[in-house]
């Protein structure tokens, strides 16, 4: 065999209590395409998870939504196949292909039976390299996107997140709605689709993960076949941006019984030495389990909400610390007050030893459970690659968590949690809350 085996790492997910064996190969094709591979022949199926960085964040303001529309069109005909012929081909193979895009990614996944590998890869290749963007499909998909944008205008969560992004990132690409606006989508042409395709599906932003009944040798040939013809370089990536919103409230009037709130202030980078301390701290504060402080105080003790969460958001060019909650219009003010109190309590006094031990047990113990199914594992590998994690990250991740101390958490909580800096965006008819200018 040849030079492709640049890394071969056996990963024992050695957090308590599960030891799951996962062997991740990094393979590099003759044409220079890298992929992470887990070969597992226990079921005769193969999953591909492919990401192109950039997504909508590389678009010009007047082409907003072009990437989203383009990605949606990748399954609407390719080569000499129209949309129906393309779908028929996939159905005949029982192959699932999915094409999605977001603020900073185009994500493509494929799942197929091993016995259909050649035909499935040919179909995937046609979609990636020779999309048709023909008239009928273009007009139809455009109308579907306009319908989605129109629906978003009365969806409280969408209203809140669009407003939040704009306040947080202003004129930076992250401040824009990645699906576009009615105006920009209406003005897009088929030429814009070819251009968005040319600028986004390029080798300089490609990440590939493969899991299933396939060997490294088999994959190497496929990698060059699938991606060898893509252009080397694409659109410029955006600049780094700081979180811009100041502490305060934005209220967007909307006639409904329950107010939806998002909040945030500046965050912490994944490269920060205290990142894992912050990660464990957030789990205790509001990280989405039934045992977090926010869930206990806002939901369990007071019954103010069905769900309250906080999260550390790490995008490619920005970080922030955010959260979300929904409460009846006459209870949302109390919910936000409790959240601010919990924010300040954590900043001032950190966590108890008991909380830290419990959090570590959950975070390390549940990590192996995520490696559940081929498609899931492929997704985790792509996430690791796009975040520039080393290939042994899954092996070491739990040890970073174990190393966090109470003191680390107290330090990082005090540094990054600023109750007075929180900006809340509330959509609804909240009583009592006052908007800041």
Residues near another protein, by CB under 8 A: 15-20, 40, 42-45, 76, 83-84, 86-88, 91-94, 111, 113, 136, 140, 143-144, 146-147, 150-151, 153-154, 156, 255-258, 260, 289-291, 296, 299-307, 326-328, 331, 358, 361-362, 364-369, 371-375
Helix (H, G, I), strand (E, B) or coil at 126: helix
CA pseudo-torsion sign 219, 222, 223, 224: positive
Read off the tokens for 414. 């005090």
Q: Please say which residue, 9 or 20, places its beta carbon nearer to another protein.
A: 20
404-408's contacts with Cβ under 8 Å and 24+ in sequence apart are 404/276, 404/277, 404/280, 404/356, 404/360, 405/277, 405/356, 406/350, 406/351, 406/352, 406/353, 406/356, 408/274, 408/277
For residues 42 and 60, what is the distance between their CA atoms, to the nearest angstrom?
46
Whichever of 250 and 327 has its CB closer to another protein, that residue is 327
Phi/psi for 185 (5° steps) reads -65, -40
Considering beta carbons, is residue 341 or 388 the nearer one to another protein? 341
Residue 294: closest CA among 252, 254, 341, 328? 341
Closest CB to another protein among residues 205, 331: 331
Least Å from the CB of residue 32 to another protein: 31
Q: Measured from the CB atom, is 362 or 383 closer to another protein?
A: 362
**Least Å from the CB of residue 279 to another protein:** 16
Task: Please state the closest distance from residue 374 (CB atom) to another protein, in A.
Answer: 5
Closer residue to another protein (CB): 147 or 349: 147
Percent helix, strand, coil in the chain, to 5, is: 45, 20, 30
275 versus 371: smaller Cβ distance to another protein = 371
Strand 34-39 relative to strand 45-53, pairing: unpaired
How many angstroms separate the CA atoms of 65 and 188, rounded? 9
Give DSSP secondary structure letters for 212-246. Answer: ES--HHHHHHHHHHHHTTS-S--SPPPPP----PP
Shortest spacing between CB 328 and another protein, in angstroms: 6
Q: How far is the CB of 273 from another protein (least distance, A)?
A: 26
Q: How far apart are CB 343 and another protein at their closest, in Å?
A: 21
Give the separation between CA 167 and CA 273, rounded to whole angstroms: 28
The nearest distance, CB 401 to another protein, in angstroms, is: 12
State the nearest-atom distance from the C-beta of 329 to another protein, in Å: 9
């005949």: which residue's tokens? 92
Parallel, antiparallel, or unpaired: how do β-strands 77-78 and 81-82 relate? antiparallel
User: Looking at beta carbons only, is 157 or 233 nearer to another protein?
Assistant: 157
Q: How far is the CB of 38 from another protein (least distance, A)?
A: 12
CB of 314 to another protein, least distance (A): 22
Q: Dump the DSSP string for 74-89.
A: TTSEETTEEHHHHHHH
Contacts of 2 by beta carbon, 8 Å cutoff, 6+ apart: none
Decide whether 373 or 432 has the Cβ nearer to another protein.
Answer: 373
Beta carbon of residue 98, minimum distance to another protein (angstroms, whole number): 12
Within 8 A by CB and 6+ apart from 19, the residues are 12, 13, 368
- Tokens representing 32 are 């220079």
Place of tokens 């292909």: 97
Cβ-based nearer residue to another protein, 47 or 199 = 47
In the bound state with another protein, the residue whose beta carbon lies nearer, of 46 and 208, is: 46
């Amino acid at each position: 065999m040849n030079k492709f085996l640049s890394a071969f790492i056996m990963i024992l997910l050695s957090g308590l209590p599960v030891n799951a064996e996962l062997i991740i190969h990094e393979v590099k094709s003759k044409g220079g395409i890298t992929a992470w591979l887990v070969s597992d022949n226990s079921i005769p199926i193969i999953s591909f998870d492919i990401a192109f960085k950039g997504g909508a964040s590389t678009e010009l303001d007047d082409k907003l939504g072009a990437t989203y529309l383009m990605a949606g069109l990748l399954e609407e005909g390719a080569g000499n196949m129209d949309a129906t012929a393309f779908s028929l081909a996939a159905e005949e193979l029982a192959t699932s292909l999915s094409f999605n895009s977001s603020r900073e990614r185009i994500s493509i996944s494929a799942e197929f039976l091993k016995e259909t590998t050649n035909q499935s890869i040919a179909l995937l290749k046609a979609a990636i390299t020779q999309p048709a963007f023909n008239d009928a499909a273009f007009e139809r998909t455009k109308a579907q996107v306009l319908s989605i944008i129109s629906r978003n205008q009365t969806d409280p969560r969408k209203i809140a997140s669009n407003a939040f992004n704009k306040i947080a990132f202003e004129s930076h690409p992250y401040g824009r709605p990645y699906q576009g606006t009615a105006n920009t989508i209406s003005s897009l042409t088929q030429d814009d689709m070819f251009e968005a395709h040319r600028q986004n599906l390029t080798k300089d932003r490609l990440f590939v993960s493969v899991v299933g009944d396939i060997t490294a040798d088999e994959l190497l040939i496929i990698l060059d076949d699938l991606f060898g013809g893509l252009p080397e370089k694409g659109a410029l990536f955006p600049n780094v941006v700081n979180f811009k919103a100041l502490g305060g409230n934005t209220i967007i009037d909307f006639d409904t019984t329950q107010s939806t709130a998002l909040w945030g202030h500046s965050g912490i980078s994944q490269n920060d030495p205290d990142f894992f301390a912050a990660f464990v701290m957030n789990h205790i504060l509001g990280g989405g389990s039934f045992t977090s402080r926010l869930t206990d105080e806002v939901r369990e003790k007071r019954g103010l909400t069905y769900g309250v969460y906080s999260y550390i958001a790490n995008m490619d060019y920005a970080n922030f610390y955010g959260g979300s909650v929904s409460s009846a219009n006459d209870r949302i003010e109390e919910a936000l007050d409790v959240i601010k109190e919990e924010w300040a309590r954590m900043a001032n006094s950190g966590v108890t030893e008991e909380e830290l031990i419990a959090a570590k047990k959950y975070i390390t113990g549940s990590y192996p459970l995520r490696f559940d199914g081929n498609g899931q594992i492929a997704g985790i590998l792509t996430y690791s690659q796009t975040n520039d994690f080393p290939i042994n990250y899954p092996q070491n991740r739990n040890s970073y968590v174990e190393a966090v101390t109470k003191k680390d958490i107290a330090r990082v909580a005090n540094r990054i949690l600023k109750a007075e800096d929180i900006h809340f965006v509330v959509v609804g008819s909240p009583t009592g809350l006052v908007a800041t200018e």
